[in-house]
């Protein structure tokens, strides 16, 4: 049965509770069909982000359109974003995103020192290299988005990121920090 977006509005306000009743299982099915081993927390975060995205964009919704394709598109984009974020967390050069076990105060202090040292080194980079590095690792921009932003090729963005990581890794090692995490 087709469900149009108009059905989910009351007094020009999107009724999230009604959406949740009708689409929670649908969203979870889309996520599971990606065959990514998301933990329960990631799964729940994606589902909630779908509703948050709908809420934040309710004025842009075309009310006589079907809801399910829109929800599917939002869900797929959020899955891709979560995959990118999780990959970055696993990347050994991405020190800024690492979580620290706060039960080990010595490790926490060491991590904070390393983060400050890394930030100082990033600030010393050439302006464009620094901006590209920050856009990719901290602002979560894609290679394609960065290429468009700086009017350069995607391969040049990749090359700059590679060289910057290599340079920072060398500086970290010279500074006495481990790059094997």
Q: In this predicted model, what pLDDT tens digit does every residue of 33-88 receive, in sequence order?
A: 877 777 888 889 999 999 898 888 888 888 888 888 888 888 888 888 888 777 65
Angle between helices 127-137 and 154-174 (to 10 degrees): 90
Query: What is the reported pTM?
Result: 0.48
Q: H or E segment at 33?
A: helix 16-33
End-of-domain residue from the set 44, 66, 90: 90
In a domain, 166, yes or no: yes
Residues 9 and 86 in one domain: yes
Tens digits of per-residue pLDDT, 5-18? 888 888 888 888 99
Q: Which of 18, 33, 28 is nearest to 67 (CA)?
A: 18
Least confident of 45-49, 66-70, 107-111, 169-173: 107-111
- Of the three residues 37, 72, 90, the one that is the final residue of a domain is 90
Within a domain: residue 181?
Answer: no
Domain holding 85, by residue range, is 5-90
Give dist(CA 117, CA 60) in Å, integer.
Answer: 44
Q: Are residues 39 and 16 in the same domain?
A: yes
Cβ burial of 3 (10 Å; 0-12, 13-18, 19+) is: middle
- Note whether 18 and 85 are same-domain residues: yes
Is 179 contained in some domain? no
């Amino acid at each position: 049965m087709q469900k149009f977006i108009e059905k989910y509005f009351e007094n020009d306000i999107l009724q999230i509770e009604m959406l949740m009743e009708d689409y929670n299982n649908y969203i979870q099915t889309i996520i599971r069909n990606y065959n990514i081993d998301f933990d329960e927390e990631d799964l729940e975060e994606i589902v909630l982000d779908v509703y948050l995205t709908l809420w934040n964009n309710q004025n842009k919704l075309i009310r006589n359109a079907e809801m399910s394709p829109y929800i599917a598109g939002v869900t797929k984009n959020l899955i891709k974003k979560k995959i990118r974020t999780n990959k970055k967390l696993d990347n050994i050069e991405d020190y800024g995103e690492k979580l620290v076990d706060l039960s080990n105060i010595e490790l926490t202090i060491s991590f904070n020192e390393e983060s400050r040292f890394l930030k100082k080194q990033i600030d010393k980079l050439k302006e464009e290299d620094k901006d590209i590095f920050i856009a990719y690792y901290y602002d979560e921009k894609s290679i394609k988005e960065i290429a468009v932003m700086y009017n350069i090729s995607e391969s040049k963005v990749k090359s700059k990121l590679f060289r910057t990581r290599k340079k920072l890794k060398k500086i970290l090692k010279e500074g006495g920090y481990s790059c094997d995490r």
